[in-house]
Chains A and B, each alone.
Chain A
Amino acid sequence: MKHVLRRGGFFLLTLWAALTLNFFIPRFMPGDPVNALRDRTRGKVSEATLQQMLSSFGFKPNQNLGAQYLDYLGNMLSGHWGLSIGQALGEPVTTIIGQALPWTLGLVGITTVLAFALGTLIGIVAGWKRGGRLDAILPPLFVVTSALPYFWVALLLILMFSVWTNGLLPSDFNYDTSLVPGFSPGFIGSVLQHAVLPAATLLITSIGGWILTMRNNMITTLAEDYVRMGRAKGLPTRKVMYGYAARNAFLPNLSGFAMSLGFVISGAILIEYVFNYPGLGYLLYSAVQNVDYPLMQTLFMLFTVAVLVAVLICDLATAWLDPRVRAKE
């Protein structure tokens, strides 16, 4: 119970820190957001609408900073995220995010989980078969792939599978815009086709890290007495490999997974930008380009929440899988 409270406290604290950063950065950084906004909206919006937008952004220059801050916190937490002042002028931020969210969840979410699962599995086998010829080649290879810049891998893939092959695979947007969105086979096929290259980019750049950490954990665990004990008991090899070795070697990877989500998000921004994929990452890029503060703030909060939720889930999973952690609670 104490553990749960502590984790909950950590969740709130981090969320608060992220929101506070969000609030103070525009106010203390050089460059006045109000003028930027006025410039952007000159001629398009009446002064009254501008005022309304400014207040929706939480920026009321006449109010004292403390009151602004409290208002802002309340609005962010209660889902009053205001109106966009970027390209989709005046559109509620919730609507814009609602349209982009499924694409990022589908592309980045599924690929990340896939990379984690696949990498872990390959790492288990690589660690188990340590010392073989393959084991001399694989680790350096994956050290290299995990250090490659996301956007460069994306550009290479586009060059190879799209430019040089006369558009074998699409490299732009999330589906063929000539199709009508719906649950038709053509549309779903198009969506999948458009996801191949961005997903491959994310997979190539992130799987190496999982393979290496899992392999290394496995090797450390294989030296443990309980693995030898599993063999001594005459258990089937699979049981020793998965139930005794991998089961224990996997535990440290879980917390690593949550922490790595920050990197996945940076990958999502760059990859979605390269592929013009209309997900949350692309949205953040365009929000930044268009000085769309309400959208930017909300996205940053959502990214933080996503990492925090992942941390919590991994915490729960660790407690579920490791009785020693449960004992500390």
Chain B
Amino acid sequence: MTVLQGTAAAAPRPRRSGGGFWRALRGNRKAMAGSVILLVFVVISAFPGLFTSVHDPNALQFPPRLGPSTGHLLGTTGLGQDIYTQLIYGTRQSLIIAVVAGFFATVLSVLIGVSAAYLGGVMDDLLSMVTNVALVIPAFPLIVILAKYAGHGSLTVLLVVLVVTGWAYGANQMRAQALSLRNRDFLESARVRGERRSYIIVFEVLPTMTSLIVANFLGAALYSVLSAAGLQFLGLGDPNSSSWGTMLYWAQNQQALQTGAPLWSIAPGLCVALLGVAFALMNYAFDELSNPALRPVKAKERKVRAAVAAKASAAAGAEAGASPSPVGTETSPAPDPADAESPADPDAPLLQVRGLTVEYATARGASVAVAKVDLDVRRGEFLGVVGESGCGKSTLLFAIARLLSAPASTTGGSVTFKGRNLVAMTEKQLNVLRWRDYSVVMQSAMNALNPVRTIGAQFKDAIEAHADYSSEQIKQRSVEVLELVGIDPVHLKSYPHQLSGGMRQRAMIAMALLFTPDLVIMDEPTSALDVVAQRSLMVQIKELQQLLGFAVIFVTHDMSLVSRFSDRLVVMYAGQVVESGPTRTVFDTPAHPYSKGLLDAFPSIHGERVELKGIPGSPPDLGNPPAGCRFHPRCPVVQERCRSQEPDLYQIGEAGEVKARCLLLTSDDEPQASRSLEVNS
């Protein structure tokens, strides 16, 4: 590592196989089970004499076909050998085959795969082609034929055959990963330093591929164990060798099953199976570790989930009314939220969120991602929600739309939309409202549109779920909305990947407008676009909003983006609303130090030139938020009381339109009337 020191261009190498990885591996039950089995076999193969008192496993020295007894734990073979002793002595060969063939097959995979990726060009084409051909040619028949031609296979012949037929699968994977690593920063920096290619491959590339290489070795070892046993079982190995496969061959040859000596073939088969299972379990554990989503939910986490779910259904029940039964059971009708269809107060906001709380169940316990959020959206209003990544703004949106999925759930509060509480509704009841009354536009249309269906088909899905239109009507409406956002209707027949980024985003907005809903919830719909496309899309959203009169909740991290379009702003930090008010007021005179910091982090196009400042530090861990004001560790004007006293959302300003969560707005414990706030920077 001394080479890396003192080089300015040294970028950190991703640590896929660091200490944490091995610790995680130790915590994985499958990996542990596999290792224990393997370890037992290793010990047995190293010291077979310790486990049995019979010295020659193959000598025909006992009466044949004895049943299990203390003298012969597993009985004797039809030829008069002790089965248990044969198993003990056969372990070594199977292990040698697994380890040696697995090792050389992996070496070959790495050599060919990594060379193909790094040599590129014609060599890559050639090596990939060879790999693919080798992958398709059925290996086992080839092994059978090879083993036969090579005479009754010695161990060496067997190993060579297994390596020759076992490398291709790994080589393909190695090539793919090496290709994906090729342009990563840490390799780029090594190249800039002028390191030789061979040095880069050995010291930079291979270490990052460790987990794939180990996984490959395990896979190749599994393949070798099973193939070798199969081959020996067919009688294509050395019939005088001590191995499980050879035992199986003789057992089959002498009809062990039919002649009352089933253990003769079942026991060595079980050993082969156990060794194979050991490799397979470890291999799968590696898969799980490199993709944590695949891991089963741990018992501890499941308990947390259950607790969170219980809170969630309690929240749903409490908000639904006095009904004691949990909402979601179809049999006991909770007070139908539809009863409240026409709210008594015509001036009531379209959407009223009160005390909305979202918790994530993790193995360490529940983590509050959204804490008691209140917000209102009036008809036709454009509400901006801003905050850094990880502040809970997207979670808030999905909670409002009731689109959270495990491990996140809404554990408190209400979302009253057109007089009905969405939190208390079942999925079925929600499906009636969805898309007809409120729709959602997501961050990246590339990911939010189903890649295998045409735009038109996806429009049709949405329409069919909510209305009984004829196919003519569906077509007509689809054309209408596409024209609304300025896309040629021929693109109804296009797939998402055939459209440009801006067009996809427009198509998604068009889809959101199919039923001209009252509310469109937008989650950073412009963040995947360049600045010019961003701006034109914003203008278009605003125009459509004025034309059709729907309300918008618009989430973004870019405060300057919403400044010109939103009516009101909500600033979020660490799961809480820290400031809310009319956009203009918040912009001109931010009341919370965090809002001011956010504003300073983005350049103003029209304003005077000021030095851009970010907010030092990063958002807190929501599983363990700081005591007192959550912003205090990063706050430039922090006071002593901020560290212990939790601020409320104080109403400030003459009209009381602005609310901010900052103790500095209060004198000791009384909310202050003055809305001026000196933030020294």
* Chain A residues within 8 Å of B, Cβ to Cβ: 10, 13-14, 17-18, 21, 25-26, 29-31, 130-131, 133, 135-136, 139-140, 143-144, 146-152, 155-156, 158-159, 163, 212, 216, 219-220, 222-226, 228-237, 239, 243-244, 247-248, 251, 259, 261-263, 265-266, 269-270, 273-274, 284-285, 288-289, 291, 296, 299-300, 303-304, 306-308, 311, 321-324, 327
Contact = CB atoms under 8 A, between A and B. Distances in A.
B452 interface: yes
What DSSP secondary structure best describes chain A's contact surface? Answer: helix
Nearest to A304: B137
B297 to A, nearest CB: 4
9 contacts: A14-B137, A18-B137, A21-B142, A29-B149, A31-B149, A147-B279, A262-B140, A266-B140, A266-B230
A225 B447 contact: yes
A147 B431 contact: no
B30 interface: yes
A32 to B, nearest CB: 10
A243 B450 CA distance: 9
Contact of B129 (A13, A233, A304, A308): A13
Interface in B570-610: none
Q: Kindly name the residue among B136, B284, B432, B440 whose own CB sees the greatest number of chain A CB atoms within 10 A.
A: B136
B136 A131 contact: no
Nearest to B305: A131
A18 B145 CA distance: 12
A322 to B, nearest CB: 6
Contacts of B442: 225, 228-229
Contacts of A131: 296-297, 302, 305, 406
A216 B294 contact: yes
Contacts of A274: 252
A262 B272 contact: no
Given A29-B149, A143-B284, A136 B296 contact: yes
Contact of A232 (B151, B296, B434): B434
B144 interface: yes
B227 A147 contact: no
B406 A143 contact: no
Given A156-B266, A163-B262, A327-B497, A147 B293 contact: no
A233 B431 CA distance: 8
B437 to A, nearest CB: 10
A228 B397 CA distance: 13
B440 A232 contact: yes
Contacts of A14: 132-133, 136-137
Given A144-B280, A225-B444, A232-B403, A269 B144 contact: yes
Interface string B371-415: 000000000000000000000000000100101011000000000
Contact of A262 (B138, B222, B432): B138
B150 interface: yes
A234 B269 contact: no
A143 B257 contact: no
Nearest to B230: A270
B498 interface: yes
A219 B293 contact: yes
Interface in B165-179: none
Interface string B228-247: 01100111100000000000
Given A239-B465, A299-B141, 9 more contacts: A21-B142, A31-B151, A151-B233, A226-B450, A229-B440, A236-B431, A262-B140, A288-B144, A296-B145
